């Protein structure tokens, strides 16, 4: 028998629950039968691409944002460059730093990913309804707006 505190923690573990939901959505997206050109991209590269898509940044800034090493960020960006979805441009005021930006091919990839994401959303919506999806999005945006606690 598990300890009641552990049961309560497991039931209220928001981080684990969100990770499980993400995995569920990714499995759902994998069943999408549309253009799957970018379906086998590493999850870490997808995360990097999404970060670049939201705001072009230097490799160092992306590494800090994603809480990964600069070396890991560079490797991920290198793979995205090889796919032709991202390019590196010189950063203003720096001869060394480069800014990762989405290419035209990257825009197409983003559109394809949006179709896969919408497919997963519609699947979940069919189960829980539009109103609960709207409420969930509202709650998640509220969480994102809360500042993280100050460190010691």
For residue range 11-48, list pLDDT tens digits in order.
678 888 888 998 998 888 888 887 767 767 788 898 89
Average pLDDT over residues 55-81: 93
For residue range 123-135, list pLDDT tens digits in order.
999 999 999 999 9
Determine the pLDDT at residue 101: 95
67 phi-psi bin (left φ>0, alpha ψ -120 to 50, beta other)? left
Single out the residue of 95, 109, 98 nearest to residue 45, CA to CA.
Answer: 109
123: CB partners within 8 A, 6+ apart: 28
More confident position, 35 or 71: 71
Average pLDDT over residues 55-84: 93
CA 68 to chain centre: 14
Residue 87 has pLDDT above 60, yes or no: yes
For residue range 106-117, list pLDDT tens digits in order.
999 888 888 888
Determine the pLDDT at residue 40: 72
Determine the pLDDT at residue 2: 55
């Amino acid at each position: 028998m598990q300890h009641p505190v552990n049961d309560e923690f497991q039931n209220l573990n928001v981080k684990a629950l969100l990770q499980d939901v993400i995995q569920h959505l990714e499995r759902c997206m994998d069943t999408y039968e549309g253009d799957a050109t970018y379906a086998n991209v590493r999850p870490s590269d997808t995360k990097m691409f999404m970060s670049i898509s939201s705001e072009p940044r230097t490799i160092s800034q992306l590494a800090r944002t994603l809480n990964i090493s600069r070396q890991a960020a560079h490797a991920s960006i290198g793979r995205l460059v090889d796919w032709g979805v991202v390019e590196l441009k010189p950063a203003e005021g720096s001869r060394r730093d480069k800014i990762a930006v989405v290419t035209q091919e990257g825009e197409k990839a983003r559109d394809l990913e949006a179709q896969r994401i919408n497919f997963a959303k519609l699947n979940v919506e069919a189960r829980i309804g539009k109103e609960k999806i709207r409420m969930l999005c509202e709650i998640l945006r509220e969480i994102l707006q809360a500042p993280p606690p100050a460190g010691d």
